[in-house]
């Protein structure tokens, strides 16, 4: 039987026709062979709309369009590319701002104007720029997927040009380009497989975004703390390099500011921000602020080691899923170079809502709150791509994934938050109550937790958390019986918990010193806190106790605002020791 397009026989045809339209999802009758997640193009006059196969049923395929689906008609022509939805990998990704399909948005805006046109796709990596290539292999060397062929400078990093990840087995180097400048699409090496076939290698390659990149020798246990220089995180609820964490919180609780602080100060080489569906205003703020943020490492713009992926307002919800997977694929690519990468996804709730919408259009049996029944599996598969690995050459790289969640009304019992909590290693729950009280970062210390080891000893951490819990219980009791109905000992415990909260957990993101607290400083100052929390105190009355802790809190805040190496730091510490009877923090570290 001939193909409906009338061009070729159906046995070899790789196209189809539209037989049903439901929003941005269409049903296609296809001819020939087809794969799940294959890339398709829907023909609309002179425009080709990119789409992805999400379900195959006999001779019919459900295809989600990653563009505006208006004006499509039943009977329309569809071409299948034979390739999976993939990301383009190579030098030139850093400093870029992409959409979910990896189109460079600044170039796209220059091409299309203020309103982006449908069906316009651009190379993620410029083809006209030349890179200074330095080979690290010679003829006769035996390589495998992920091994380095050479390097090119990319900002402050040495970007590795690697054997394509899609190759299997061992390959012998037949020829490699010498020192010189080359475009990314020029051949820089030729490899021969075991059957004698030659493979030409360029600086750019593609990898399917929904397939984890596993060109490493060993996956390690995340044990090293990812220092964010935010005291409440590093001391109480740390994340680990190669680990996972989530930051759920209601609107206005400070997720975006916290994300920017982590991006700026975290101990990571590369930062990938996947704005996979946050509100337009917050995306604009991210795009506007990141180039202005000074990188503490280099003194230059933070964008020089950052990649931002975001959706435009004209893209349908299906593109949110592409944003998440494109982001993690780029992160895995830089991990393959032995770098430590931090991926921040904001907000995964919008991604889950996109999954719910697509699931509804496919008429699947819904789960809790109409989310797909496989929601937990999809979220788990995403976070499982975080890892710290040992590469074939012995170097170590990592991808740490942190996802923000936006539960309606701050309800942490909703399905997306609960599914995320089952797979992440740390939970940084933001509190509307703390945000309204201007206690920033508004991470709730009694609801948050972490499975990773921190930078302070566990016994001192438990003491601090006990003081916080006891202080909270006493505060709730005081709302009923009043301050006069509270014993002096309980009142001192309450004041200790408030002091710990105000002087250590809260941090001024707009102060040049307090914005970032090093691990060394955190251990030292927390030792002082432990001395205060564990000290037995007696006062003539509650007014005297309140006055003492008020002065102590203000003095400690002043201490936080001084550089650790300064004379002022030492002078304030001496005053604190006098207030505490000369006790020192030297032995509590």
Residue 122: inside a domain, yes or no? Answer: no
pLDDT of residue 299: 85
Classify residue 585 by its DSSP letter: S
Are residue 436 and residue 478 in the same domain, yes or no? no
**Which residues make beta-bridge pairs with 30?**
16
Question: Do residues 56 and 161 share a domain?
Answer: no
250 is in an annotated binding site: yes
- According to DSSP, residue 528 is labeled H
pLDDT band at 10 (very low <50, low <70, confident <90, very high): low
pLDDT digits (tens, 9 = 90+) for 518-570: 999 999 999 999 999 999 999 999 999 999 999 999 999 999 999 999 999 99
Is 523 marked as binding a ligand? no
Asked whether residue 4 is assigned to any structural domain, the reply reads no
Is beta strand 142-143 parallel, antiparallel or unpaired with respect to 130-135? unpaired
Query: Mean pLDDT of all residues in the chain?
Result: 91
Rounded to whole angstroms, what are the CA distances from 223 to 4, 46, 398, 399?
58, 54, 12, 13
Same domain, 222 and 189: no
* Domain range for 237: 218-450
253 is in an annotated binding site: yes
Query: What CATH number does residue 157 fall under?
Result: 2.40.50.100
Is 255 among the annotated ligand-binding positions? yes
How many angstroms separate the Cα of 403 from the Cα of each of 100, 249, 293, 344, 521? 17, 11, 21, 6, 27
188 lies in the same domain as 50: no
- In this structure, the answer to whether residues 251 and 308 fall within a common structural domain is yes
Q: Please indicate, yes or no, whether residues 193 and 256 belong to a single structural domain of this protein.
A: no
251 belongs to an annotated ligand binding site: yes
The model's confidence at residue 346, banded by pLDDT at 50, 70 and 90, is confident
**502 shares a domain with 389:** no
Q: Please give the pLDDT value at position 317.
A: 72
Residue 314: the pLDDT is 58
Mean pLDDT of 339-357: 91
97 falls within a domain? no
Check whether residue 322 and residue 292 sit in a common domain.
yes
User: 42-57, pLDDT tens digit by residue?
Assistant: 998 888 999 999 999 9
Residue 99 lies inside a defined structural domain of this protein: no
User: What is the number of structural domains in the chain?
Assistant: 4
Whether 231 and 353 share a structural domain: yes
| E strand or H helix at 579 | helix 567-579
- Is 539 known as a binding-site position? no
Say if residue 252 carries a ligand binding annotation: yes
Is a pLDDT exceeding 50 seen at residue 583? no
In a domain, 478, yes or no: yes
Mean pLDDT of 52-80: 92
Residue 259's closest CA among 240, 245, 269?
A: 245
Residue 585's pLDDT band, with cuts at 50, 70 and 90, is very low
Boundary-marking domain end, from 146, 169, 203: 203
**Quick check: 39 and 81 in contact, CB under 8 A?**
yes
249, 431 contact by CB (below 8 A)? yes
From first CA to last CA, the distance across the chain in angstroms is 79
Cα-trace Rg, the chain: 28
pLDDT at 93 over 70: yes
Looking at 388, 423, 450, which one is the last position of a domain? Answer: 450
228 plus 174 within the same structural domain: no
Does 520 lie in the same domain as 374?
A: no
Residue 123 covered by a domain: no
Domain boundary among 428, 450, 472: 450
How many whole angstroms separate alpha carbon 420 and alpha carbon 422? Answer: 5
Residue 584: pLDDT over 50: no
CA 66 to chain centre: 22
Strand order in the sheet with 148-154: 157-162, 148-154, 130-135, 180-183
- Higher confidence at residue 46 or residue 82? 82
Phi, psi of 374 (to 5 degrees): -95, 20
Same domain, 174 and 295: no
CATH number, domain of 226, equals: 3.40.50.300
């Amino acid at each position: 039987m001939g193909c409906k397009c009338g061009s070729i026989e159906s046995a070899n045809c790789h196209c189809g026709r539209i037989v049903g339209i439901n929003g941005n999802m269409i049903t296609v009758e296809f001819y020939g062979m087809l794969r799940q997640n294959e890339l398709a193009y829907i023909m609309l006059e002179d425009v080709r709309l990119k789409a992805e196969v999400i379900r195959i049923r006999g001779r019919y395929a459900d295809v989600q369009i990653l563009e505006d689906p208006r004006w499509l008609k039943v009977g329309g022509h569809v071409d299948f590319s034979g390739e999976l939805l993939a990301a383009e990998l190579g030098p030139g990704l850093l400093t870029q701002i992409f959409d979910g399909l990896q189109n460079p948005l600044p170039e796209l805006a220059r091409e299309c104007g203020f309103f982006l046109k449908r069906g316009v796709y651009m190379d993620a990596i410029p083809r006209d720029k030349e890179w200074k290539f330095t080979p690290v292999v010679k003829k006769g060397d035996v390589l495998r997927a992920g091994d380095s062929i050479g390097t090119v400078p990319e900002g402050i990093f040495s970007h590795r040009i690697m054997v394509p990840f899609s190759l299997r087995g061992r390959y012998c180097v037949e020829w490699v380009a010498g020192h010189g400048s080359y475009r990314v699409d020029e051949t820089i090496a030729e490899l021969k497989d075991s059957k004698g076939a030659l493979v030409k290698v360029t600086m750019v390659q593609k990898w399917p975004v929904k397939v984890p990149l596993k060109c490493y020798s060993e996956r390690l246990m995340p044990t090293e703390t990812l220092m964010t220089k935010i005291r409440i995180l590093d001391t109480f609820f740390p994340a680990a390099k190669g680990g996972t964490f989530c930051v759920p919180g209601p609107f206005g609780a400070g997720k975006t500011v916290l994300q920017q602080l982590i991006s700026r100060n975290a101990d990571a080489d590369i930062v990938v921000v996947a704005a996979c569906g946050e509100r337009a205003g917050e995306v604009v703020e991210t795009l506007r602020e990141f180039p202005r943020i000074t990188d503490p490492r280099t003194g230059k713009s933070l964008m020089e080691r950052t990649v931002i992926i975001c959706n435009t307002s004209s893209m349908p919800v299906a593109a949110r899923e592409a944003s998440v997977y494109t982001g993690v694929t780029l992160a895995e690519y830089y991990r393959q170079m032995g770098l430590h990468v931090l991926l921040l996804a904001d907000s995964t709730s919008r991604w889950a809502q996109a999954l719910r919408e697509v699931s509804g259009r496919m008429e699947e049996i819904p789960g809790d709150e109409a989310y797909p029944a496989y929601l937990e599996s999809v979220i788990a598969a995403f976070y499982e791509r975080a890892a710290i690995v040992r590469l074939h050459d012995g170097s170590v790289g990592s991808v740490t994934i942190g996802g923000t969640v936006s539960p309606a009304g701050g309800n942490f019992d909703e399905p997306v938050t609960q599914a995320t909590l089952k797979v992440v290693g740390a939970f940084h729950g933001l509190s509307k109550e703390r945000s309204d009280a201007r206690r920033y970062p508004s991470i709730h210390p009694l609801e948050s937790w972490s499975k990773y080891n921190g930078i302070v000893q566990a016994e001192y951490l438990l003491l601090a958390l006990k003081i916080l819990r006891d202080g909270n219980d006493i505060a709730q009791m005081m709302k009923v019986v009043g301050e006069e109905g509270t014993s002096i000992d309980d009142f001192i415990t309450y004041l200790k918990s408030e002091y710990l909260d105000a002087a250590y957990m809260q941090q001024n993101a707009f102060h040049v010193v307090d914005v970032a607290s090093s691990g060394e400083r955190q251990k030292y100052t927390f030792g002082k806190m432990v001395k205060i929390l564990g000290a037995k105190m007696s006062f003539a009355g509650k007014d005297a106790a309140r006055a003492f802790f008020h002065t102590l809190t203000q003095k400690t805040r002043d201490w936080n605002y001084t550089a650790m190496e300064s004379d002022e730091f030492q002078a304030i510490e001496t005053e604190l020791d006098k207030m505490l009877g000369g006790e020192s923090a030297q032995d509590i570290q």
